[in-house]
Structure 1
C-alpha cells in the first residue's frame, strides 16, 4: 500500500529534527485537503513544541484546566486554512484563520476543536482559554519568536494555578522557552525543505 506524501511527512520519522508525528486524525485531514508539504512540516513542528510545553506543565503537576488532546489537535491543525490560501505560507495574511475553522467543521470536526484555526493569532480576544494560549505560544516558539504580551498571559495563568509570584513563573517559563527555542534553526530548516505547492 502506497502512503501519500502528506501522510509520510506527517507520520514518519523525520530526516531532520526529531519531531513527534501528527495525530492520525490531523494527518488524514491534511491529506484530504491536499495540504502543501511545507504546511504539514510546519504543523508537525508546532505540534511537537506544544507537546513539549504540555509535558513541562504536567511535570510541574499544575492543573490549568486544559485538555491536552485538544491542544495537540489544535497545534496540528491550526494553519490548515493555508491549504486554501497557500500564499500565506510565505507572506503575512489572516484569510486562512476563518477558512481553516470552516474547513475543519465541514469535515466533521466539532467547533470546540476547530476553533484553534481561528484563535491561534487572537490571544487577546475575549473568551480565549489557556488551551488557545498554548497553541499560540507553540506557534511562536517553534521559530524562537518571543511575544511578551502572549507570554504574560501564560505567566498569569501559571501563577494563578501554582500560587507562586508572577516573576517566579516568568523565570521558569523563560527557561523552558529558551531551551525549546534553541532548536528553532533545525525546525525552520525542516519546514523549508518541503514544497509550498499544494499536493492535490
Structure 2
C-alpha cells in the first residue's frame, strides 16, 4: 500500500469547502522547498479567499484598476518565508516576512510579486495599494478574523477609486466578508489536518 505524501495531499486534496489549487508555479516551488504540509494548506486557504475577493471586485467594481494576478500570486506565496522559519507556523514571529521576499527574489520572482511576502502584515505603510490590502484581508478573513483598521483602510482606498462614500463601499464589503467568514471553520479544519513538520 502506498501512502500519499502529506505535502502533495495538502496541494491537491479538494477540501471542504472546496479550495482552489495553487498556481502551478507556486505548487512546484513549495515542492522544491520541501515546504511543511501545513504551510501549503494555509496558502491554499488564503489563495482561495483571495479568489473570492478579486471575483467580487470584478463584479462590483469592474472599472477599478486592479492587478488580479498579483493578488492571487501574493496570497499564494505570502507566508513562503515560513519554509525558512518553520517555528512561525505555530507561533508568533515576523522573520518570515523579509525572508519570504528574499527567497522569492532569489528564485527569479520579480519584486512587484515578491513584495507580498513582506507587505501582508504591514498594511499601514504609506503607498500600500489595493492589491496589498486585499492580500492582507484574505490572510485574516480566511479564518473569520475581522480587523477593523485594515478593513477601514481598504474601504477608504476603494472609495477613493470609485468616488463613492466610504459608507457606501463598506456595507457590501462587510456583507462579503461576513459570507466568506461563514466557511472559516472548514478552512481551519483543512489546515489543521496537515502536520507542521515534514513527515518522512
TM-score by length of 1: 0.93
Q: Decide whether the 8 Å contact of 1:81 with 1:96 is kept in 2.
A: yes
How many pairs were matched up?
198
Query: Which deviations, in whole Å up to 9, do the C-alpha atoms of 1:68-114 show, x marking residues without a partner?
Result: 11110000000000111111011110000000001111111111100
| Structure-1 residue corresponding to 2:156 | 156
Q: Can you list the C-alpha shifts for 1:28-71, whole angstroms capped at 9, x where unaligned?
A: 11111111000000000000000000001101133332211111
- The aligned counterpart of 2:112 is 112
Counting only pairs closer than 5 Å after superposition, residues 30-109 of structure 1 correspond to structure 2 as 30-109=30-109
Q: Provide structure 1 residue ranges, at least 5 long, that are not aligned to the other structure.
A: none
Contact kept? 1:62, 1:162, Cα under 8 Å: no
Root-mean-square deviation (CA, aligned residues, Å) is: 1.7
2:132 equivalent to 1:141: no
User: What CA distance in whole angstroms lies between the structure 1 residues aligned with 2:31 and 2:5?
Assistant: 8
Cα distance in 1 for residues equivalent to 2:23 and 2:4:
16
CA distance in 2, matches of 1:148, 1:56: 19
Please name the residue that 2:10 is paired with: 9
Deviations 1:132-177 (A, max 9, x none): 0000000000011111111011111221222222111111111000
4+ residue stretches of structure 1 with deviation over 4 A? 2-5
Gaps of 5+ in 2: none
Q: TM-score, normalised by structure 2?
A: 0.93
Cα 1:188–1:24 change in 2 (3 A) is: same
Alpha-carbon distance in 2 for matches of 1:105, 1:4: 28
Q: What secondary structure, in the 3-state scheme, does the structure 1 residue paired with 2:74 have?
A: helix
What is the alpha-carbon distance in structure 2 between the residues aligned to residue 189 and residue 52 of structure 1?
19
Structure 2 SS opposite 1:150: helix
